[in-house]
């Protein structure tokens, strides 16, 4: 029975962090926000940006962000968030915002597809990182 070294333990910790982070994101979106954000209001996209970052090694990365606002009881809430290239469904500048009546700043945008596949992928990767060192550590 082989002993696990510190690199195995580090890999397991990274795996645990990925799994916990992914599960937290899913719970936050589907349990916490869905249960709290019961009021609905129309919002508008103010600006969508395509940010191109050139790296020192000659590669470039492109990210997208959007700035939007919504009003609750005459108070304007402005938010900017990173989005995936295909994350925004539909067309036009109108979005639907679900917010928490007791704390209108807490919200989610129903028009943004939640990146469930990416999140599930991170959970699966984390599970593999946990499984392999333990499995091979016991066999080795």
Q: Which tops the pLDDT comparison, 99 or 47?
A: 99
How many Å apart are CA 109 and CA 117, to the nearest integer? 18
Q: What is the mean pLDDT of residues 36-59?
A: 88
What is the reported pLDDT for 95? 86
What is the reported pLDDT for 88? 60
How many Å apart are CA 26 and CA 55, to the nearest integer? 32
How many Å apart are CA 34 and CA 96, to the nearest integer? 14
The answer to whether residue 120 scores a pLDDT higher than 80 is: no
pTM of this structure: 0.56
Sequence-distant (≥ 6) Cβ neighbours of residue 14 within 8 angstroms: 126, 129
**pLDDT single digits (tens) 54-113:** 888 888 888 888 899 999 999 999 999 888 766 665 556 888 899 999 999 999 887 666
Mean per-residue pLDDT over the chain, rounded = 81
Let me know if 79 is exposed, middle or buried by CB neighbors in 10 A (0-12, 13-18, 19+). Answer: middle
Q: pLDDT class for 1, splitting at 50, 70, 90?
A: very low
What is the reported pLDDT for 115? 59
């Amino acid at each position: 029975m082989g002993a696990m070294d510190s690199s195995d333990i580090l890999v397991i910790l990274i795996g645990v962090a990925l799994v916990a982070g992914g599960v937290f994101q899913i719970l936050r979106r589907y349990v916490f926000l869905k249960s709290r954000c019961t009021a609905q209001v129309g919002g508008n996209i103010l600006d969508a940006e395509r940010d191109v970052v050139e790296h020192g090694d000659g590669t470039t990365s492109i990210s997208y962000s959007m700035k939007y606002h919504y009003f609750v009881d005459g108070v304007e809430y402005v938010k900017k968030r990173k989005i995936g290239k295909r994350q925004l469904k539909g067309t036009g500048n109108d979005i639907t915002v679900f917010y928490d009546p007791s704390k209108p700043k807490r919200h989610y945008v129903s028009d943004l597809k939640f990146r469930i596949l990416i999140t599930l992928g991170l959970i699966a990767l984390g599970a593999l990182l946990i499984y392999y060192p333990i499995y091979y550590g016991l066999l080795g």
